[in-house]
Amino acid sequence: MRKRKFGSKVLSACLLLSTLLVQAVPPLYAKSEPEQAAQPGKTAQETVEFTDLGNSYAKKAVTRLAGLQLINGQGDGRFYPQNTMSRQDIAVLLTKVVGLQPAEMEQAVFADVPKESPYASFVYGLADLGVINGRSDQTLGGADPLTRQDLAVILARLMKVSGLPKAASQNIVYSDAAQIADYAKAAVEEVSNQRWMQGAQGKFNPAGTVTRAEAAVIAERVLDARYQQAEQVDFTLGKSQLSLLAGTSEQLEVKQAKGDKLPFTPIFAFDRPELGTVLADEHSLPGRLPEKGI
């Protein structure tokens, strides 16, 4: 059994609503993946440099994601961009990139992902949403290398649960389309239209494995899509103004203007530290001076 833990749509706190981001090809193909310009959004909080990226096509994406603490190296200041990405590794990366709340579980479902595993909360969070599925032998195959067509399927499901709109059809045809598994055909088409994954030399190479460099480039594209989505969310608050005294609290209801489910978890904060602090349990600690803020 597992229980899902997600942010409440009604939070007790105050003042400023922001949005928390709540949903690559093998070496031969890597150099053919064009880098898309990053969209305006949050910049890296710190600069992280890896010694083995050199002039890699993925350097910008890796540096940005590492600065946002969304991806890590593998020790000794190295990223190992050509190492393969496993199924459990992609669960961690994509959970962080789209801002999903990791799940707390009472009992592990996959035999190869025990509760004590550092991957467990990420894997089971995506499993609860139907983004990642196990195998008939009750395993995830978590340590297995991730194939391109399996990544396409995961991304297409993630797009759906995150509320991201589908891109218009680009009529992209791959010369190796017959090699794409039936379960992945629709997903390959979707992520190709979205330009999250692209082929090279007219091929998609569905059975090829995904490297860490390629995963970083694709993850950055997903991150940019989430930033764009956040900028377009039309939400309403239950109140337009709050007045809070020390020791008091008040609830705010946040919902999408059209009544649909919000694609993000509402997060509240003060615009100036001296006004107060919002705690993780959704309560606020007022500052010492009575002031106004947004």
Which residue is associated with the tokens 């540096």? 63
Task: Examine the pLDDT at 41 and tell me if it is beyond 70.
Answer: no
The proportion of the chain whose per-residue pLDDT surpasses 90, expressed as a percent, equals 53
- Its sign, for the CA torsion 20, 25, 26, 31, is negative
Pick from 207, 188, 210: nearest CA to 82: 210
d(CA 216, CA 239): 40
Q: pLDDT tens digits, residue range 72-115?
A: 999 889 999 999 999 999 999 999 999 988 888 888 999 999 99
- H helices of 17-147, in order, are 27-30, 59-67, 87-98, 120-128
Contact 263, 257 (CB under 8 A): no
Radius of gyration from C-alpha coordinates of the chain: 21
Average pLDDT, the chain: 80
User: 121 in the Ramachandran plot: left (φ > 0), alpha (ψ -120 to 50) or beta?
Assistant: alpha
Reading the block at residue 86, the tokens are 């496993």
pLDDT at residue number 251: 78
Range among 34-38, 69-73, 99-103, 242-246 rated most confident: 69-73
- H helices of the chain, in order, are 27-30, 59-67, 87-98, 120-128, 148-161, 185-193, 212-232
pLDDT at residue number 290: 58
pLDDT at residue number 45: 55
Mean pLDDT of 189-207: 95
pLDDT at residue number 11: 29
Q: Which residues contact 147 (CB under 8 A, 6 or more apart)?
A: 206, 207, 208, 209, 210
Lowest mean pLDDT segment, chosen from 104-113, 180-189, 251-260: 251-260
pLDDT at residue number 26: 29
d(CA 72, CA 65): 8
Residue 145 CA from chain centroid, whole number: 20
By the 10 Å C-beta count (0-12 exposed, 13-18 middle, 19+ buried), 220 is classed as buried
d(CA 278, CA 269): 6
The proportion of the chain whose per-residue pLDDT surpasses 70, expressed as a percent, equals 79
d(CA 117, CA 128): 17
Reading the block at residue 110, the tokens are 């996959």
Which residue is associated with the tokens 């898309």? 36
- Is pTM beyond 0.85? Reply is no
How many beta carbons lie within 10 A of that of residue 96, not counting itself? 19
Range among 24-33, 126-135, 255-264 rated most confident: 126-135
Q: Which residue has the higher pLDDT, 294 or 142?
A: 142
